Amino acid sequence: MNQLKPVALTSGGFAPFGDVIAIEDASHYPINQGFAERYSDLARVDIAAERGEVNISIVTAEPRPYPIDIRLMERHPLGSQIFYPLQDRDWLVVVAETLTDIASFRAFRATGRQGVNYARNVWHHPLLVLDPESRFLVVDRKGPGNNLEEVWFDEGVEIVVMP
């Protein structure tokens, strides 16, 4: 059984897979008569292919049983996909550069103040939360065409969640 230990999510580590949406390291400027700060342009939203439009969704999620067994990866050939947590609680992100190369899989532990934007065609596992009744705001694509590829594995990649 292969094992992946989640490492802290950083913009640099996640760069091959998309954007980390967070205020750390982002430039910002005051707005609203000084009562607010804006951290602008934090993700490359890429949904216009084949007359795609922006889809705003909320997803509620439950934890999977430990150890989390990775048996499925998916990707979206027509659009990027943002998940931003609506509670200030850690969650997990699993991505891969090449499904046939187990060494290319990565697991990240995101904080509750980090969202991700999976770039088009990036293999990722469905949402992995650590707490019941977790909620996420999702920004992805709606429109014509098939925007989902799923691959199931015979042999799983076990993810060990560090305390």
Residue from the set 49, 59, 130, 161 that interacts with its own copies by CB under 8 A? 59
Backbone φ, ψ for residue 112 (5° rounding): -75, 0
In the complex with its own copies, which residue's Cβ is closer, 10 or 55? 55
Tell me which of 12, 35, 146, 154 binds its own copies, using CB under 8 A: 35
CB 70 within 8 A of CB 150: no
Cβ within 8 Å of residue 2, ≥6 positions away = 102, 105, 155, 157, 158
Contact between 107 and its own copies by CB under 8 A: the answer reads no
CA 128 – CA 94 distance, rounded (Å): 8
Does position 151 interact with its own copies (CB under 8 A)? The reply is no
**Residue type (1 letter), 53:** E
Which residues make up the interface to its own copies (CB under 8 A)? 21-23, 26, 31-33, 35-43, 45, 47, 53-64, 72, 82, 84, 86-88, 113, 115, 117, 126-127, 135, 137-139, 142
